Amino acid sequence: MKTVTILGATGSVGTSTLDLIEREPERFDVLALTANCDTEKLAKAAIRTNARIAVAADESCLPELRAALAGSGIAAAGGRAALCEAAAMGADITMGAIVGCAGLEPVMAAIGQGGTVILANKEPLVSAGDVVLAAAERHGATLLPADSEHNAIFQCFDFARPERVRRIILTASGGPFRDWPTEKMRAVTLEQAVAHPNWSMGAKISVDSATMMNKGLELIEAARLFPVPEERIEIILHRQSVIHSMVEYVDGSTLAQLGPPDMRTPIAYCLAWPDRMTTPMAPLDLVAIGRLDFEAPDPVRFPALALARHALEAGGARPAILNAANEIAVAAFLDRRVGFLEIAAIVADTLDCYDPPAPDTLDDVLTVDAEARRLAGERVKDCVA
């Protein structure tokens, strides 16, 4: 039996993770579950799984959490410090599913315990890639990617002979606006942006998919995870979201991982690694799917792709700035304070006006992140005004 902690247990990835471990209670023992402030959902999950502790990252929600857990024997805690303490409890497996850079510190706390850390959020490796990878090596932690694309690459990649890999091909659905002209995209509504055609995801990730910033972040993450030069990592549109990514070898062979657009497949691979476990997904029906389409993404309609690649090429603090500015811009869009096309513009302007030295430590990364958020916030005010 393996002990498990889920950071971000009430989001889409956390919920999928719970669904899998609750199907095999003899295999997994839950230590800690965390959420931001959905105390009702968090408490129910903690009680179902008999978790040791439940943590609300928003400390103001702690009284509600305590009330919901009254009589259960499950400890309740609140605040950022408690969140990191839960992450550092030494679980065999920690699922890092907190959206945004808010997940960076707890993921680092989990890495410090030397267990297996499943990365479902892109931001730790995007904003603090060198710091995260160095910490994992120092503490003997194993990092496994749960993002469907990186998980697909992980399954197909020959780590023993990386020099035999010619290129990595990241697939992207293209989101809900893959066929829209730019002029039409100016009037995109919040409801349209979060209506992903293939995947069921949270609002922030859905908007990132609509702008294709998610694929830009995945490009940076792939360059951190796999020993392949960034110029040999390509992005193509694949509307059906059946092939989750591909690895091409020097002999012309291309290995692809196929599966339904359901996060439980890559999560299950990580939970059981290096073994596999049964999931509730139906077999892939290729006859019913009928066809698989591919095309090049339009860099004019999706400028986020170029912003991300330039940030990766420049290195240093640029990826952290990109991510922080994007989080602020997307939050403003979700609050209906800026238009859809202004998201990428805010990110570009923040990158243009801020170029600090490369961060060497977690504190350095957090300092860069904070200043980039401040500058992006000022740019949002300009849009609102």
pLDDT given at position 199: 62
The number of CA neighbours under 13 Å toward the Cβ of 334 is 15
Q: What percent of the chain has pLDDT over 70?
A: 98
Strand duo 142-145 + 116-119: pairing: parallel
Torsion of CA 196, 198, 202, 204, to 10 degrees: -50
| Chain centroid to CA 143 | 13
CA 273 to CA 306: how far, in whole Å?
34
Condensed to tens digits (0 to 9), the pLDDT of residues 139-156 reads 999 999 999 999 999 999
What's the mean pLDDT in 9-21? 96
Specify whether the CB–CB gap between 92 and 71 falls below 8 A.
Answer: no
Indicate whether 385 pLDDT > 80: no
Indicate whether 36 pLDDT > 90: yes
DSSP 168-235: EEEEE--GGGTT--HHHHTT--HHHHT--SS----HHHHHHHHHTHHHHHHHHHHHHHSSS-GGGEEE
Closest CA to 367 of 101, 78, 59: 101
Measured CA to CA in angstroms, residue 50 lies from 21, 149, 364, 378 at distances of 12, 32, 38, 45
CA 183 to CA 171: how far, in whole Å?
25
Could you tell me the two tokens for 206?
């859905």
Beta bridge partners of 236: 171
CA 292 to CA 281: how far, in whole Å?
20
Indicate whether 358 pLDDT > 80: yes
Q: How confident is the model at residue 100 (pLDDT cuts 50, 70, 90)?
A: confident
What's the mean pLDDT in 353-381? 95
Indicate whether 202 pLDDT > 90: no
> Nearest-5° angle of CA 125, CA 130, CA 134?
110
Global pTM?
0.93
- Other CB atoms within a 10 A radius of the CB of residue 325 amount to 28
pLDDT given at position 384: 66
Q: How far apart are the first and last CA of the chain?
A: 56
Condensed to tens digits (0 to 9), the pLDDT of residues 213-271 reads 999 999 999 999 999 999 999 999 999 999 999 999 999 999 999 999 899 999 999 99
Specify whether the CB–CB gap between 238 and 294 falls below 8 A.
Answer: yes
Higher pLDDT, 199 or 83: 83
Element (H, E) at 53: strand 53-56
Q: How confident is the model at residue 382 (pLDDT cuts 50, 70, 90)?
A: confident
> Nearest-5° angle of CA 329, CA 107, CA 144?
100
Specify whether the CB–CB gap between 116 and 91 falls below 8 A.
Answer: no
Indicate whether 160 pLDDT > 80: yes
The C-alpha R_g of the chain, in whole angstroms, comes to 20
Q: Domains of the chain (ranges plus CATH)?
A: 2-145 (3.40.50.720), 158-259+283-384 (1.10.1740.10)
Specify whether the CB–CB gap between 170 and 234 falls below 8 A.
Answer: yes
